[in-house]
Structure 1
Amino acid sequence: MTEDIRPFRIEVPQADLADLHRRLTEARFAAPVPGDEPDWTRGIPTSHVRELAEYWRDGYDWRAEEAALNAFPQFTTVIDGQVIHFLHVRSPQADAVPLLLTHGYPSTVAEFLDVLGPLTEPGPDAFHVVVPSLPGFGFSTPLSGPGWELARTTDAFAELMTRLGYDRFAAQGGDIGAGVTGRLAALYPDRVLGTHVNSDRGTIALAGEQLPLPGGLTPGEQSELDAAREAWKAGRGYLDLQSHTPETIAAALTDSPVGQLAWIAEKFRAWTNPDGGIARDRLLTTVSLYWFTRSGATAARFLYEAAHSGHGWLAPSAVPAGWAVFNASPVVRRIMDPAEKIAHWSEFAEGGHFAAMEAPGLLVGDIRKFFRGLRE
């Protein structure tokens, strides 16, 4: 076991920081078009990108963020030929329930920094928390070869929990993490205590595409669904490109920090709650992790592999499941769970797609509440 699992610390070379600062200093920005308003109707405005880039260069402290990440125990192991990086934070509570947290796109393990402490606090709701980087994301790089997508990742994470000595465990995630979480329950029902998924109202845009479309919607519900679909149609270009030609965008994301910044910051703006949002430093920590590990390219590759794998995102199982919907609307359950079969369904006005960053207290509380009844 000591040979299979190795301690890891993030130590970005100073030369890489200097290179980033140089590239940000020498960055070229698009010239504004006379008469244009700096709004978001055509994507992230150049003025906003420039402001973020200047702060990334002059105000953001990577070393402080690196230290915050390194405050939690990190490790790597090789599974199916691929390096898998993960955080493993054990609770002082010896009998705590093992909990696998899986991030999505465009995210990293840094998404969970604000929930690790509360989730591992000793007490009746304590967890031992494992947070892996998806293959091709963060420090689960470089990719060992093709074929890393949802199903293969699910098997790798099940093996990771085995290596850590967790025969039975809880699973939680959003976005890609929700797909991994659901597939774990479908393939390993005897090992998964329960699954908890976080989502947001934007999920309904996938109804009729990746999700079943229920009949009998009211005019109001149909109107909300139509608006969500229209927003998704306007914003899904990132997914179409990466699902079909990831090598093309890989060139820009790997060579230009401003390109990587704009690519991620646009999604953070689109998917977070308009009344909340995410701190600028936390956004830049996410972007920095993609930049330093060159994982903009390999994260895009993951989406390509997923689109061509033949595996769907939904994997039904009989394992107890809970949902927490942030920036919620009643139509979400009407579409996602029309028969109301999901016993634990929580809705919050706060938060959004990145729940662990936007509303960590609410997410922690809901995870505790759901698994409280399953611990026996």
Structure 2
Amino acid sequence: MTFSPFRIDVSDEVLDDLRARLLRTRFTGRSDDQPWRAGTDPDYLRQLVSYWIDGFDWRAREAELNTLSHYQARIGGRRIHFLHVPGIRPADAPAPLPLILSHGWPSSFVEMLPLVDRLTNPAQYGGDPADAFDVVVPSLPGFVYSELPDGPLTRAAIAQTLHLLMTDVLGYRRYGAFGGDIGGVVTSWLGTLYTEQVAGIHMIHPPFPASFDSRPLSPAEQAYLDADAAYDQTDGGYSAIMGTRPDTIAASLVDSPAGLAAWMIDKYRDWSDNHGDLESRFDRDTLLTTITLYWASGAIGSSFRQYYDFDHNSPRPDITVPAGFTVSTEPSYANYPREIAERACTDIRHWSEPGRGGHFMPLEEPDLLAGELRQFFTSLRPS
């Protein structure tokens, strides 16, 4: 398989239309006395839309993104977009271990960008140049510039696509994988399906076993599962509609940039480690870069596909490759007990609960996470 360079190039027509729609935005009132309790706060959304119109410079962000090495390949007849950044290492150092970094929802390849320099050029951050990695950052199928496959979008199918990207397209014989959220589940499938080529996997969201039937639940496991179910009662509306009526909500979001922003911002605030202050973790330019990519590519509906196709997923076998975890502090992973991960993984070699960093940890805590990834993956080098 071959690949070719790719540039992000949003037309003036698309940007003019976006601005016109933003200028005509109709805002709702707040449903609760407390901001954010009923979803994205209308007052914050007004401020964000105003900045999107008059403060956000997409062309500057587009130019910045295009300084990176973007490519596209056709895998299974469908286009896959990815970044490929070789590691900078001393001439006498061994070839770096390639790492593929996979994002989740509502995210994009932009989430992984703070990790790229830290992993490919550690000397720039005070690290050992010999610890450099080659880094590959894909857009998952259905996200931004990567197309959906013809069949159901299962996590195993995504893993197959990413494995072909690493091996058949880029020619790597052995690599490591990192991910969070959907990208984390895909990473776990890479470690299950390709044990000869995958040196190890690292995630911020530890996996669940295919079944809890092997032994009775411990008190800690039961408490966590009960708390997670209770949290889902307040948070799960988004996934319920995306998993059952994706076309209904997508019709609204692909037509209204303010609606799209509200749908995505709600999760950036709720799932990150921001203590109620969204912009303590993400500046507006970062938030609007990903939202604008979704808008310009029209990909919000296709990003829902893995929710709608969820029932096509089969139970995942045990993960036998070396596994490492830096556990997110977001509400759904609060007090997650390691023993649940031990039901799914037979070889956990790294477990860290740093107490900071949430669902979007590469953006929230890049220095912390890059250090964790270096520590884990350098331990897997052949002796």
Q: Give the alignment's TM-score, normalised by structure 2.
A: 0.87
The alignment yields a C-alpha RMSD, in angstroms, of: 2.4
Rounded Cα–Cα distance in structure 1 between residues aligned with 2:28 and 2:46: 10
Tell which deviates more after alignment, 177-186 or 320-329.
320-329
Rounded Cα–Cα distance in structure 2 between residues aligned with 1:171 and 1:227: 29
Q: Which residue of 2 aligns with 1:356?
A: 362
| Change in CA separation of 1:315 and 1:178 when aligned onto 2, cut-off 3 Å | farther
Gaps of 5+ in 1: none
Shift in Å, 1:331? 2.7
| Change in CA separation of 1:224 and 1:303 when aligned onto 2, cut-off 3 Å | closer
1:158 aligns with 2:163: yes
Q: Which residue of 2 aligns with 1:5?
A: 3
Shift in Å, 1:30? 1.4
Shift in Å, 1:338? 5.9
Rounded Cα–Cα distance in structure 2 between residues aligned with 1:168 and 1:146: 28
Task: Give yes or no for contact 1:199–1:352 (8 Å, CA) kept in 2.
Answer: no
State how many pairs are aligned: 361
What secondary structure sits across from 1:88 in the alignment? Answer: strand
Task: Give yes or no for contact 2:224–2:337 (8 Å, CA) kept in 1.
Answer: no
Q: Which residue of 1 aligns with 2:301?
A: 297
Shift in Å, 1:211? 7.1
1:123-272 alignment runs, 5 A limit? 123-141=129-147, 143=148, 145-162=150-167, 163-199=169-205, 212=212, 215-217=217-219, 226-272=226-272
1:311 aligns with 2:314: yes
Q: Which residue of 2 aligns with 1:44?
A: 40
Rounded Cα–Cα distance in structure 2 between residues aligned with 1:249 and 1:223: 34
Q: Which residue of 1 aligns with 2:27?
A: 29
Shift in Å, 1:144? 5.2
Shift in Å, 1:124? 2.2
1:13-162 alignment runs, 5 A limit? 13-32=11-30, 36-93=32-89, 95-121=95-121, 123-141=129-147, 143=148, 145-162=150-167
Rounded Cα–Cα distance in structure 2 between residues aligned with 1:125 and 1:198: 21
Rounded Cα–Cα distance in structure 2 between residues aligned with 1:338 and 1:140: 33
Task: Give yes or no for contact 1:182–1:316 (8 Å, CA) kept in 2.
Answer: no
Q: Give the alignment's TM-score, normalised by structure 1.
A: 0.89
Rounded Cα–Cα distance in structure 1 between residues aligned with 2:270 and 2:201: 27
Rounded Cα–Cα distance in structure 2 between residues aligned with 1:330 and 1:290: 29
| Change in CA separation of 1:152 and 1:228 when aligned onto 2, cut-off 3 Å | closer
Gaps of 5+ in 2: 123-128
Q: Residues 231-274 of structure 1, C-alpha deviation per residue, up to 9 Å, x if partnerless?
A: 22111111111111111111011111011100000000110013
Task: Give yes or no for contact 1:38–1:47 (8 Å, CA) kept in 2.
Answer: no
Task: Give yes or no for contact 1:79–1:159 (8 Å, CA) kept in 2.
Answer: yes
Percent identity, aligned pairs only, is 40
What secondary structure sits across from 1:337 in the alignment? Answer: helix
| Change in CA separation of 1:310 and 1:144 when aligned onto 2, cut-off 3 Å | closer
Residue 153 of structure 1 aligns to which amino acid in structure 2?
I
